[in-house]
A and B are shown apart, each in its own frame.
Chain A
Amino acid sequence: MIALIGLITLTLVAVAAIATVMATNLFVASMWFGIFSLLMASNFFILDAADVALTEAAVGAGVSTVLFMGALALTGEKEAIRSRVSWFPMAVLGVLALALFVATFQQPMLGDPMAPVHQHVAPWYLEQTPKLINIPNVVTAILASFRGYDTLGEVIVIFTAGIGVLSVLSFKPKGRQSVSSEALAAKVRGVQHHSILRVVGKLVIPLLMLFALVVQFHGKYTPGGGFSAGALFAAAVMLYGILEGADRSAKAMPEKVMLRLAVFGATLYTSVGLVCMLLGGAFLDYNVLWPDPVVGQYFGILLVEFGVGLTVTTVLVMVFNAFANRPTY
């Protein structure tokens, strides 16, 4: 039964992907892309990856759709149709597809317990997590503790991308006038004139924030953690910005504060690692944080995940505010 549902959602994923690329109106394309991401998230859930499904649903279907719409408001939503299609890229794609298709016949079947990927390292993590870290969610244990170095790198990448967006958008075109302040006001005001949307949407925002906090701090026991919680929290702020106007979300979450919090999140992560070194352990070796190593792991993971959540939230909020409050030139 589950396998059948998996087949159907996968087929729908493929249909949504083709519809996304075929759509010549970019607004339609970004809506299709949101549907695509949501179907992909349900498919991840069927494949036993609850953490990934949660993150994909929040990021792919929520945040990225909003960001695409924010960008389209500034770039226009019509795509020029090209009549001439060059044969070279098509030939490359055809060869690539054929090569990959032939290669699939040497891949292990879906769910094969004897597949090479399940033989090495993974059994060790599954066996040792209850002993060394003693939290139920093995994904969180690997993310924040066993492979803490990788996650620190990812946080720095996200932070860098946020800085990049802010610096790219800090330039103003020379010698060109932006649209009148009324037109900008109409753009940032969002859907304020739709009372039903506003009333119903406002009810969702506190629940969404509460859920984000649960996902953040309960992520050791259930699916979740800093990455998905950050995306959910940012989605709540974006919903507020859409309903009440982007100028208000920028006022509630000012860029100055957000930037400092983003730096603080990444610094918190790094300093936990440094404190471990000062206490005589290795970088990000939480065992030394407390006399009982398992309790040390608990606090280490809690702090590190908080740092991740803070950076992800603030970077996504900054990007949304920067897109939504920019005048059209």
Chain B
Amino acid sequence: MTLLGLYNYWIFILLLIVGLYAVLVKGNYVKRMIGLGIFQSAVFLLYITMDKVEGGTGPIMQGVPEPGQLYANPIPQVLILTAIVVGIAVTALGLALAIRIREEYGSIEESDIRRLDHES
């Protein structure tokens, strides 16, 4: 049972590797942005895993908290809350660049673009 306490970290590793695989190996720029999104989500998962306190609740204090009431750690939540929205802004910028590349080269595959650059 103690090993299951590490399950979140293992899923974090899997997502990190899957996301990085898409970024490194895939040649399609939109696919790479998706891979970057998965990579980001892996980091989000790591941080949110940190915040959990056994027997605690979300960090919202309704009324006067009872003595001994445990709360989840709010700091990782704050960091990730803002990071999610910054992440979508970055994704939007990457997709805009992919659109422009497609308009100039007629393709968003890296192999095609390398070939076209080589020919010109």
Contacts and interface: CB of A to CB of B under 8 A. Distances in A.
A227 B91 CA distance: 16
Nearest to B104: A173
A52 interface: yes
Chain B binding surface SS class: helix
Contact of B44 (A40, A80, A111, A121): A40
A18 B99 CA distance: 25
Chain A binding surface SS class: helix
Contact of A74 (B13, B16, B99, B111): B99
Contact of B85 (A90, A142, A154, A169): A154
Interface string A204-236: 000000000000000001110101101100000
Interface in B43-75: 44-45, 48-62, 64-65, 70-75
A138 interface: yes
Interface in A1-26: 3, 7, 10-11, 13-14, 17-18, 20-21, 26
B30 A72 contact: yes
Nearest to B79: A150
Interface residues of A, number: 106
B48 A47 contact: yes
Contacts of B116: none
Interface residues of B, number: 87
Interface stretch (A54-62, A183-191, A269-277, A290-298): A54-62
A36 B38 contact: yes
A50 B98 CA distance: 34
B49 A47 contact: yes
B58 A50 contact: yes
Nearest to A40: B41
Nearest to B59: A138
A49 interface: yes
Interface of A: 3, 7, 10-11, 13-14, 17-18, 20-21, 26, 29-30, 33, 36-37, 40, 43-44, 47-52, 55-56, 59-60, 63-64, 67-68, 70-72, 74-76, 79-80, 82, 85-86, 89-90, 92-93, 96-97, 100-101, 104-105, 107, 109-113, 115, 117-118, 121-122, 125-126, 129-130, 136-139, 142-143, 147, 150-151, 154, 157-158, 161-162, 164-165, 168-169, 171, 173, 176, 221-223, 225, 227-228, 230-231, 312, 315-316, 319, 322-323, 326, 329
19 contacts: A76-B108, A85-B25, A89-B21, A110-B5, A110-B8, A111-B5, A113-B55, A117-B75, A122-B73, A122-B74, A126-B59, A154-B85, A168-B96, A169-B100, A223-B60, A227-B82, A231-B85, A312-B85, A329-B103
